[in-house]
Amino acid sequence: MSAIYGLLAISITIAIVFFVIFIMSIKKGQYDDVYTPSVRMLFDDELVDEDEKKAKGENKKNQKSNHKYKQE
């Protein structure tokens, strides 16, 4: 039974050490993405623009139809 307690203590200690190392690496910026911002301008944004145009077109249609009803 004492072996289980010893192994449990060792495993918790190792887990805490890895967690501390992980937190330190995050604070130092190890996982910061420095590649994506430099190539973001190379990606094509046409899909986003088309969706926005469609949404604006639908809003204009709704406004025109509502405007007709308000005039009567």
Is residue 45 packed enough to be buried (19+ CB in 10 Å), middle (13-18) or exposed (0-12)? exposed
**What's the pLDDT band for 56 if we cut at 50, 70, 90?**
low
**25 CB-near residues (< 8 Å, 6+ apart):** 31
Average pLDDT, the chain: 79
DSSP per position, 50-67: HHHHHHHHHHHHHHHHHH
pLDDT at 14: 98
How much of the chain is helix, strand and coil, in % rounded to 5?
80, 0, 20
pLDDT tens figures, 18-31: 999 999 999 999 88
pLDDT of residue 48 exceeding 60, the answer is no
Q: How confident is the model at residue 68 (pLDDT cuts 50, 70, 90)?
A: low
Q: Which two tokens stand for residue 59?
A: 């809003």
